[in-house]
């Protein structure tokens, strides 16, 4: 007897409401999305497994956050740092080419700097937002530079350089992109050069 079993993923919205968005710096509405995984036999859902993703998405800037941000105000600063880092890296893969390899590099680099494992759906959301022009990246960096710690700004530049250098040999155009990100974060070119030199030697 042939028994077909596996997993099915079902995307759904758990709830919606309002919260203080760290990126918009104002009260915004959100959608709480969860991708639920089910064990299936003969393509019929039998029981729930652990959720694959559990994300709160701002309907204004489309940034993704941990759902706990609505209950834990002290996550606010961390949320700003992580959301802007994800947006900057997603901006680069849109430019260099959105491939499975570039997404995996983004996930690895993001984890190295934050110890948080991104889900593919979070990257997809960022890529769609950037591609649609709904929330331009450079103005987002400029608007949030005052809310980012200096360490977070350095991490954004280092991670961006790592992603760019894995996509191709660093050339003039690539340095222009990194320098543009730095300018929008109010980081001097001399500091950019120092950061790139330090990471290149490691």
110-166 pLDDT tens trace:
999 988 888 888 899 889 888 888 778 888 888 888 878 888 899 999 999 888 887
In Å, how far are 21, 62, 82, 110 from 115, measured between CA atoms? 22, 22, 11, 7
Note the pLDDT of residue 2.
46
Q: Which of 20-34, 46-60, 88-102 is predicted most confidently?
A: 88-102
Q: How confident is the model at residue 145, as a pLDDT?
A: 84
Highest mean pLDDT among 46-55, 118-127, 170-179: 118-127
Say whether pLDDT at 49 is over 90. no
Q: Residue 12 pLDDT more than 60? A: no
């Amino acid at each position: 007897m042939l028994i077909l079993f596996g997993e099915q993923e079902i995307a759904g919205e758990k709830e919606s409401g309002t919260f203080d968005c760290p990126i918009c710096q104002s009260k915004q509405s959100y959608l709480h999305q969860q991708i639920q995984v089910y064990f299936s036999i003969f393509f019929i859902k039998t029981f729930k497994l652990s959720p694959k993703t559990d994300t709160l998405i701002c309907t204004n800037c489309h940034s993704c956050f941990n759902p706990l941000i609505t209950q834990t105000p002290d996550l606010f600063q961390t949320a700003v740092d992580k959301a802007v880092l994800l947006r900057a890296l997603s901006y680069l893969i849109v430019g260099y080419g959105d491939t499975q390899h570039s997404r995996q590099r983004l996930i690895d680099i993001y984890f190295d700097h934050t110890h948080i494992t991104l889900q593919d759906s979070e990257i997809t959301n960022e890529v769609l937002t950037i591609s649609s022009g709904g929330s331009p990246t450079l103005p987002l960096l400029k608007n949030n530079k005052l809310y980012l710690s200096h360490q977070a700004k350095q991490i954004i530049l280092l991670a961006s350089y790592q992603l760019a250098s894995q996509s191709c040999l660093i050339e003039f155009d690539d340095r222009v992109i990194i320098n543009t990100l730095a300018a929008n974060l109010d980081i001097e070119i001399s500091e950019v050069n120092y950061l790139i030199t330090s990471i290149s030697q490691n």
